[in-house]
Amino acid sequence: MELRLDGKTALVTGASSGLGDRFARLLADSGAAVAVAARRVDRLEQLAGAITQNGGRAHAVAMDVTDVVSIREGVAAAEAALGPIDVLVNNSGVSVTARIGDVEEADYDFVMNTNLKGAFFVAQAVGRSMIAGKRPGRIINIASAAGLHPLGQISVYGMSKAGVIHMTRSMALEWGRYHINVNALCPGYIETEINRDYWNTEGGRKLLAKLPRRRVGKPEDLDGLVLLLASDQSAFVNGAVIAADDGLTAG
């Protein structure tokens, strides 16, 4: 069965690079009109242009997920341009690598304000719109294997993603009655443009040697799950926390 999103409108946050860029192209290729949101509008314009040239429909939206006013204005702008949002891929995220004893307050706030506070208020804004419009919807919160299993030197990141997992379950419980399905996807180590060079360093090779199958994933390894959770075929999937980590958290 081919999973299609024709007639749907999607919003992808953190779309200026990495997984967000991949998710936006994937949803567009599957028939959705896609609003791409982030702070780097120049990158978003390039992405929206590429989607349009490929026969899709896309619109770039400036959004700072650490600013609730910016979130609400961005969601409103996306809906004004493309219509009511049916699918949210809540993807914005940052990390700081440091031992617990070395984490500064600014580091903590940087990660939590983006990954947890930002994710909450983006989902809230989209959820409010879905409820007001009496529309069913799909919200996919991008969490992490680090939210399921502690990983070294990214404690605050893991804490923020554990919060996203709990947030997902709470939203699923409250919003299920409105036919809004809220699920969390927890990727393991995925190679992106940000970390690609790291895997060829001594530290990267040591980490690879500790992984269950001595490899990292590719962004496309998440395609099937994202499409399923965004589609009508996931009607009975609500409050799920799905690890896509090649067995990293299985033990």
Q: Return the active site residues.
A: 157
| Cα–chain center distance at 102 | 28
DSSP string for residues in 187-224: E-SB--TTTGGGGGSHHHHHHHHHSTTS--B-GGGGHH
Pairing of strands 180-187, 137-142: parallel
Helical packing angle, 119-132 and 68-82, nearest 10°: 40
The Cα angle at residue 156 between residues 152 and 159, in degrees rounded to 5? 100
What is the C-alpha separation between 156 and 213, in angstroms, rounded? 26
Q: Residues 100, 158: contact at Cβ < 8 Å?
A: no
The Cα angle at residue 111 between residues 110 and 116, in degrees rounded to 5? 120
**For the chain, what's the residue count?**
251
What is the C-alpha separation between 188 and 68, in angstroms, rounded? 29
111-142 b/e (C-beta count within 10 Å ≥ 16 → b): bbebbbbbbbbbbbbbbebbbeeeeebbbbbb
